[in-house]
Amino acid sequence: GRALADLEKAGSYEGRHADGHHLAAQALVALGNLSDAEAEVDKALRVSPHLGRALLLRAEIRRRLGRAAEALSDWQAVFEKFPYLLNAEERGRVAALLGR
């Protein structure tokens, strides 16, 4: 409700604040609104294409939406470009999914 409205307002000041969109996406996931969360993550990635945390969040959103191929694509990007965002177990799981 109010917290989400405040996040949206904060993110709209510049329209180019990736962290604001990422925070809004996290809030929307917590509320179970995955479609709008994905839209916010996409906005964050348009502003900052190298925001690895946003790729991780989008992978999880897409997994929950049943879009495994798209989720795997995001996990692969994280695995290759931002491996430090994954712990050893997560790296192992993604590597297995990628057949590596």
- The mean pLDDT of 55-67, rounded to a whole number, is 97
DSSP, residue by residue, the chain: -HHHHHHHHHHHTTS--HHHHHHHHHHHHHTT-HHHHHHHHHHHHHH-TT-HHHHHHHHHHHHHTT-HHHHHHHHHHHHHH-GGGS-HHHHHHHHHHTT-
Q: Give the pLDDT of residue 38.
A: 97
Query: What pLDDT shows up at residue 100?
Result: 86
Per-residue pLDDT reduced to its tens digit, 34-57: 999 999 999 999 999 989 999 999
| pTM of the predicted model as reported, rounded to 2 decimal places | 0.81
**pLDDT at residue 1 in the model:** 67
pLDDT in tens, 13-37: 455 689 999 999 999 999 999 999 9
